[in-house]
Structure 1
């Protein structure tokens, strides 16, 4: 009997921490998760868990935010421990933003892991950059982001059907909170740059598959990313011959080199190149045999 009562008390305590305490209620209200009837959390932990974990049964994918829920749980529990043991306090909005960033990063890593798992084990040639057809331009984009580094780097490069560099851009950033946000920033800049340079018939390739799915509308867009995704989709509508496609990291090494190089920049001024910089020549030339050039 005593053991059973102890279990009941522990369940109530977990329900209080995750759903019913004022701090938890504020976080759920701040998040994009749909509120329960009359905005009241149940006294039953199991009912509350079932409700937030089955939202996809009652709402369309772009309103369910099912991937966000576990990260809200984790942030609530982590914040509680840091408050108790380190006297740290995080606002509800900061907590929700961090949970959204954690979710976006996790989804991006899952996409990359799935790609790795699906790679063939045969002795086939590795995937390499492929040139566009004649009269088209291919623009590859990439972002270099790491949670333990203060700065981020973004880069893009446009090439014709012979593999010749047309334009490239690199910039150092600070304040981009996730891998996906960094990739989106790189893609957004590339699209705007190619439009301003008066190019048409451009294929933009990124190795961030989750970003492509958000742009295509098949993956829910996280609130933090909505402004930049809307900016990208607007630019694509204004340039009907622009296309965004996914291509694996193996075929995007030149752009990754550009994004990593941006880490070394001493300021945040964007840099544009119409000739190949010396630090890019080796990796760019490595792509040339695959377009019939030596």
Structure 2
């Protein structure tokens, strides 16, 4: 049994997934996750009944492979259910790793298995400690999507290069050519401990506003991270809205997008942008001056209901007729 655990631990470190997920799976095999039965064995007096199903003892094996939410999520990859504890924790994880090489399972689903297990664990923690719950359908979809994006950006064929080779700084806002939309993006970052505002506004070749959004985000360590996060948000929004030919107008983050390889600290966010870019028929980036990006900048700064919004829009539209 001990030798089997050692072998499974070795396989865990070879899984193609995020380092935090490998660490999580290694902790699961090692029995190092803080579930009720493990805490009780360490002398902590508590109720060991699973808070999710209220019927079985909360063990690592139960949470990841036997509890109802786990069974619903693992159903997406046809993982054989183990409601009667026939298989040990080590055997279940070993089976999960073996299924990642099973060609009878679609590639999309089998490479998502580590993310699905991670989603099961995060869901358990959210319910117990935060009192929040997301449907298993949404959790499954998110896990598969995250696995797909990670695989794409880490494939040998993917190389970091320039996302926007030409530097264009506009002195004033100008409309895109017919058939395109322009999406101005801005993040109003103050410091690493505060929330920051983000906004985007999409207009057509006549300067007509098609869509706009604003939001508040959790603190970012610096201004560039905030800008890149807002670009990712705006790109996902344009995809959801069905815009296929988009010019993204930005300011501070342009240098990183123009020379991706020179900004390794921001590799994860830049890779996300690179993958999202492939989902458009055409997507390019322009650097706006502070003046030409002022409307979306002010929206991000106020996050209120700006009365001047429509008047400013009309002014910029008329100056380009």
| Higher RCO (Cα < 8 Å, 6 or more apart) | 1
Taking structure 1 as the reference length, the TM-score comes to: 0.48
Higher helix share: 1
